[in-house]
Amino acid sequence: MFNVALYEPEIPPNTGNIIRLCANSGSRLHLIHPLGFTLEDRQLRRAGLDYHDLACLQEYADMATFLSQHAPRRLFACSTRGSRCYSEVDYRPDDTLLFGPETRGLPQTLLDQLPPEQLIRIPMQAGNRSINLSNAVAIILFEAWRQQGFDGAV
Is 122 annotated in a binding site? The answer is yes
Q: How far is CA 32 from CA 42, 44, 88, 100, 138, in A?
A: 20, 16, 27, 10, 19
Is 130 annotated in a binding site? The answer is yes
Residue 101 neighbours by CB under 8 Å, 6+ apart: 7, 8, 9, 10, 36
Find, among 129, 86, 77, the residue nearest to 104 by Cα: 129
- Residue 32 in contact with residue 66, Cβ under 8 Å? yes
Find, among 64, 49, 60, the residue nearest to 19 by Cα: 49
Question: Would residue 83 be called left, alpha or beta, if left means φ above 0 and alpha means ψ between -120 and 50 degrees?
Answer: alpha
Known binding-site residue numbers for S-adenosyl-L-methionine:
100, 122, 130
Known binding-site residue numbers:
100, 122, 130
